[in-house]
């Protein structure tokens, strides 16, 4: 070791050492600051249910604040009970005095009417009067008599809604449009696109059990509740929604949450639009997996109301990804979702 050379080398080493230190320190700072993603998770009471919004990301709070505003606006626009809402105005419209709707409401109505036609009225956004006589949506749930049901049914038909050009529409006298069967799915879609305009990496929206999810980094596992025991799951579904245009909605319809029980008889809230009484179905629940929340909301109701045989037929024809849970313990799942849907113990899975 020559003393002459050492100082020349040590300069380089000092430089290297300093660079290494800077690298370590900057990596530490980057990891500490870069991961400063905040998680906001809040539950709001809206749409007559609890809405839980969970957002992770650098702009989680800003995204949540904006989503809350949008939720409030949409609730006021789509509610039929709030005076002055678009749907309230529509229900008071006539051929002579049609109302101008926002593009969003008009699109929801278009979608609802399209599926009403396709399903021959199994889904009908004018079912409101029937729901009213049963007391669903109010505190006075009861079993109405036949006469009341028939009177209510006279006003039920999706053909009484007329969509005009320029986002205008009107309804025939005494028709009540109620978008309860589609609003949550649509609102979830709008909330999600609002939130995704911010720097966020994970969003889970739970609108009273309707799930809409996005995660940029990993595959999500969505549980489907067991309709026969609400403390258990019937299935787990692996979904990938890593891109903003791949957001997945998982929407379930069933008669196990909203119902009336009188003298031991269980009356579910999903009505047969022909009889005005709860649908008679061999299904306990129908879950739809979709990228379009509003369609998913409609289709889960339709599939549930149709019963297993017709539901499977429609799902095949329209290529609907779904999980149908039957009263006999059978679970029907699309062949395409074989790898993603995992039934819990006690259910017999059948692919179609």
273 sits near another protein (criterion: CB under 8 A): no
Residue with Cβ nearer another protein (94 or 138): 138
28 sits near another protein (criterion: CB under 8 A): yes
Residue with Cβ nearer another protein (117 or 229): 229
40 sits near another protein (criterion: CB under 8 A): yes
- In the bound complex, what is the minimum distance in angstroms from residue 111's beta carbon to another protein? 20
DSSP strand pairing (348-351 vs 330-333)? parallel
Residue with Cβ nearer another protein (153 or 204): 204
52 sits near another protein (criterion: CB under 8 A): yes
Whole-number Å distance between alpha carbons of 339 and 336? 8
Binding mask 175-204 for another protein (x = CB under 8 A): -----------------------------x
Residue with Cβ nearer another protein (100 or 233): 233
111 sits near another protein (criterion: CB under 8 A): no
State the number of binding residues for another protein (CB under 8 A): 50
Q: Which two tokens stand for residue 208?
A: 């009273």
Please name the residues in contact with 5: beta carbons below 8 A apart, sequence gap of 6 or more.
none
50 sits near another protein (criterion: CB under 8 A): yes
Sign of CA dihedral 8, 13, 19, 22: negative
Give strand pairing partners of 109: none
18 sits near another protein (criterion: CB under 8 A): no
295 sits near another protein (criterion: CB under 8 A): no
Residue with Cβ nearer another protein (222 or 305): 222
49 sits near another protein (criterion: CB under 8 A): yes
21 sits near another protein (criterion: CB under 8 A): yes
43 sits near another protein (criterion: CB under 8 A): yes
Please name the residues in contact with 202: beta carbons below 8 A apart, sequence gap of 6 or more.
54, 55, 56, 57, 214, 215, 216, 217
Give strand pairing partners of 261: 266
3-state secondary structure at position 246: helix
- In the bound complex, what is the minimum distance in angstroms from residue 291's beta carbon to another protein? 15
Residue found under tokens 């809040």: 42
Residue with Cβ nearer another protein (156 or 239): 239
Cα-Cα end-to-end distance for the chain: 80
Residue with Cβ nearer another protein (9 or 97): 9
Number of Cβ within a 10 Å radius of residue 276: 23
Residue found under tokens 């909330």: 191
Q: Which of 24, 117, 146, 338 binds another protein (CB under 8 A)?
A: 24
Name the nearest CA neighbour of 225 among 247, 256, 268, 196: 256
Q: Helices then strands (H, E): number in the chain?
A: 9, 17
Residue found under tokens 């006075």: 140
Q: Which of 124, 189, 206, 295 binds another protein (CB under 8 A)?
A: 206
Q: Which of 138, 230, 318, 346 binds another protein (CB under 8 A)?
A: 230
- In the bound complex, what is the minimum distance in angstroms from residue 21's beta carbon to another protein? 7
Please, are residues 276 and 136 in contact by the beta-carbon 8 Å criterion?
no
């Amino acid at each position: 070791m020559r003393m002459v050379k050492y100082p020349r080398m040590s300069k380089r080493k000092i430089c290297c050492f300093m660079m290494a230190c800077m690298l370590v320190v900057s990596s530490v700072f980057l990891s500490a600051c870069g991961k400063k993603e905040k998680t906001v998770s809040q539950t709001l009471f809206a749409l007559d249910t609890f809405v839980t919004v969970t957002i992770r990301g650098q702009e989680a709070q800003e995204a949540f604040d904006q989503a809350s505003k949008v939720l409030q606006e949409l609730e006021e626009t789509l509610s039929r009970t709030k005076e002055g809402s678009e749907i309230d105005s529509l229900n008071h419209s006539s051929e002579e005095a049609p109302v101008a709707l926002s593009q969003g409401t008009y699109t929801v109505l278009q979608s609802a009417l399209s599926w009403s036609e396709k399903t021959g009225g199994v889904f009908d956004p004018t079912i409101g009067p029937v729901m009213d006589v049963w007391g669903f949506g109010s505190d006075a749930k009861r079993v109405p008599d036949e006469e009341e049901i028939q009177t209510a049914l006279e006003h039920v038909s999706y053909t009484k809604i007329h969509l005009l050009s320029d986002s205008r529409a009107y309804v025939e006298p005494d028709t009540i449009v109620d978008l309860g069967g589609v609003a949550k799915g649509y609102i979830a879609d709008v909330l999600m696109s609002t939130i995704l305009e911010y720097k966020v990496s994970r969003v889970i929206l739970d609108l009273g059990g309707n799930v809409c999810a996005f995660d940029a980094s990993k595959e999500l596992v969505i549980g489907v509740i067991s309709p026969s025991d609400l403390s258990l799951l019937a299935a787990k579904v692996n979904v990938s929604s890593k891109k903003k245009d791949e957001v997945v909605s998982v929407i379930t319809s069933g008669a196990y949450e909203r119902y009336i029980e009188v003298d031991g008889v269980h009356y579910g809230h999903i009505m047969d639009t022909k009889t005005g009484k709860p649908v008679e179905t061999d299904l306990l629940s129908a879950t739809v997996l979709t990228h379009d929340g509003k369609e998913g909301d409609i289709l889960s109701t339709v599939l549930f109301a149709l019963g297993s045989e017709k539901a499977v037929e429609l799902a095949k024809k329209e290529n609907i990804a779904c999980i149908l849970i039957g009263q006999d313990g059978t679970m029907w799942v699309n062949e395409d979702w074989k790898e993603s849907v995992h039934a819990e113990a006690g259910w017999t899975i059948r692919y179609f």
